[in-house]
Chain A
């Protein structure tokens, strides 16, 4: 199965595949240019039977890799013994990814979730709004540089503790 998909993608989309780095993983994966993502997914769905969008998520590689984000798609093919293949789409800060919601209706909410929590917009999505956090929430909490104490606080919890301790002593 690995060879079939590799050959298929290499022959059909030679210019969409990006060079891959070596990852210790249990999935077969391909790095894809983000402009070509809908074409690749549609071809995998129509011709190789990857009908099932199994998972859609994103990773923030802040300070580790360039470009900063990666959107990960996991497709499953019931025709080929439920084989799973992963598509990795590198995205930079401020860039958007084409939406898959017209290919898979299932992609609607996960894409909104990625937008909400990671701040990666999807172009062509019918309703690109926050899904989980309230609409007036500031920032995207799953980013690595999101302040864990919440926005608007310029002190750390440790500082707060020491302030209280000092107050106790002086009293």
Chain B
């Protein structure tokens, strides 16, 4: 077995006519500023970036192939590992796709809780993105300031699902378990603390002169180029295009809650940060509209062929025992067909394309992950800038290696 790694020498072919004084710099594969294991080979002239070459694939785990081996509930575990900063968003995207294919209508209670968890995850993700961006540019206190609030959200997830990072939150037809009694009051307390913290973070970091000058007008991308590169989510909105899957192609109850879509001007690193700041506030607004109105009722739909029946019915009822056995041994039964379902994950449009042939496992699973489409525009965005600006650009794009490689 020969270990294979791409080095700057490997790109000698591409950069073979290196002019006098130009240097090749390896950024990554494993560098604190690359947000995962990915590599950039950067050709510099003094401090100016002349050309870059991005190498991905260091964390590729063949999730799409795994999807063809696992059954529909088992693949949920894989979705945890995609965007590991906001796992419930991936879980919910996958489960909604399967439920649409099986035409299962879940109770309102489930949808409410899923929406609340989605928005909490979005806040979590944006805290990491903006906070780590400060760290990459040399400001550590901003992240520390907000990390406490992120920790609070993790504690909610831990109480709700039993895990912090790999939540595996939903099941086809419902949730893993019902919410705990203090769920609403605890989230209200978190939101109360988060509001002033966001304002303080903005004063601390974004109005900071150094941060401002290092991000303003850096790594910009125009609206046309962003659309041409398939951008979505906060990075596209920062370029001035008000697209949001939650508004344009509503799923769950997003067409019934009020929220605004923040839009930037020139798509620079500062704009992307500001859009994410505002999105956190809008997420809080959505949660506030939902938190008091969680309807009473069961935490799963009445679909014994898809959702594990309650234990007392399994032990006393032959039908339910058979359903229990069938789900455990053969998985849920999805009718043949092909389905694309898009959700707005923290990074942009997360789409699952599933081809079912009516068997235990899907015939083909494809994930349209938002990071993959951003990162191919990276060379264009940093060309002509300073070497230090590549760090600001990459941090503000929120490249997450687990999602990029999948």
Asked if A and B bind, the verdict is yes
Residue ranges of A at the interface with B (Cβ–Cβ < 8 Å): 23-27, 51-55, 57, 59-60, 64, 72, 74, 78, 81-82, 84, 86, 104-106, 108-110, 113, 117, 131-136, 141-142, 148
**Sample of 6 A–B contacts (CB below 8 Å):** A52-B227, A54-B230, A55-B366, A106-B373, A110-B372, A136-B4
Residues of chain B contacted by A60 (CB below 8 angstroms): 364
Whether A135 contacts B338 in the complex (CB less than 8 A), given A81-B248, A105-B228, comes out as no
A25-B112 Cα distance, complex, nearest whole Å: 27
Which 7 A-B pairs give the minimum distances between C-beta atoms? A24-B337, A106-B230, A132-B57, A82-B248, A57-B366, A134-B4, A109-B376
Given contacts A26-B340, A105-B377, A134-B4, 19 further A-B contacts (CB under 8 A): A23-B337, A24-B335, A24-B336, A24-B337, A26-B341, A54-B351, A55-B340, A55-B368, A57-B366, A59-B363, A74-B340, A74-B353, A78-B243, A81-B248, A105-B225, A109-B375, A110-B372, A136-B4, A141-B65
Chain A: minimal CB distance from B375 (Å): 8
Query: Which A residue's beta carbon lies closest to that of B243?
Result: A78
A24 touches B376 (CB 8 A): no
Whether A59 contacts B355 in the complex (CB less than 8 A), given A105-B228, A133-B57, A141-B65, comes out as yes
B227 touches A141 (CB 8 A): no
Residues of chain A contacted by B229 (CB below 8 angstroms): 105-106
A133 touches B376 (CB 8 A): no
A105-B355 Cα distance, complex, nearest whole Å: 27
Beta-carbon contacts under 8 Å, B241-255 to A? 243, 248-249
B389 within 8 A of A: no
CB contacts between A and B, total, < 8 Å? 90
Please tell me which one of the listed residues B2, B363, B376, B405 contacts residue A108 in the complex, with CB atoms under 8 A apart.
B376
Chain B binding surface SS class: mixed
Whether A82 contacts B100 in the complex (CB less than 8 A), given A109-B376, A132-B405, comes out as no
Please tell me which one of the listed residues B248, B336, B353, B363 contacts residue A57 in the complex, with CB atoms under 8 A apart.
B353
Whether A23 contacts B338 in the complex (CB less than 8 A), given A132-B60, A136-B2, comes out as yes
A60-B65 Cα distance, complex, nearest whole Å: 12
B357 within 8 A of A: yes
Chain B: minimal CB distance from A85 (Å): 11
A131 touches B57 (CB 8 A): yes
Interface size of B by Cβ–Cβ distance < 8 Å?
42
A108-B355 Cα distance, complex, nearest whole Å: 24
B376 touches A106 (CB 8 A): yes
Chain B: minimal CB distance from A21 (Å): 11
A110-B371 Cα distance, complex, nearest whole Å: 12
Beta-carbon contacts under 8 Å, B353-368 to A? 353, 355, 357, 363-364, 366, 368
A141 touches B62 (CB 8 A): yes
A25 touches B230 (CB 8 A): no
Residues of chain A contacted by B2 (CB below 8 angstroms): 136
Chain A: minimal CB distance from B210 (Å): 33
A134-B375 Cα distance, complex, nearest whole Å: 19
B339 within 8 A of A: yes
B64 within 8 A of A: yes
Chain A: minimal CB distance from B52 (Å): 14
A52-B230 Cα distance, complex, nearest whole Å: 6
A52-B357 Cα distance, complex, nearest whole Å: 29
Chain A: minimal CB distance from B63 (Å): 11
Residues of chain B contacted by A81 (CB below 8 angstroms): 248
A24-B366 Cα distance, complex, nearest whole Å: 17
Chain B: minimal CB distance from A151 (Å): 11
Beta-carbon contacts under 8 Å, B132-150 to A? none
A86-B335 Cα distance, complex, nearest whole Å: 20
B60 touches A133 (CB 8 A): yes
Residues of chain B contacted by A84 (CB below 8 angstroms): 340
Residues of chain A contacted by B290 (CB below 8 angstroms): none
Of the listed residues B69, B248, B335, the one surrounded by the most CB atoms of chain A closer than 10 A to its CB is B248
B8 within 8 A of A: no
B291 within 8 A of A: no
B56 touches A64 (CB 8 A): no
A24 touches B4 (CB 8 A): no
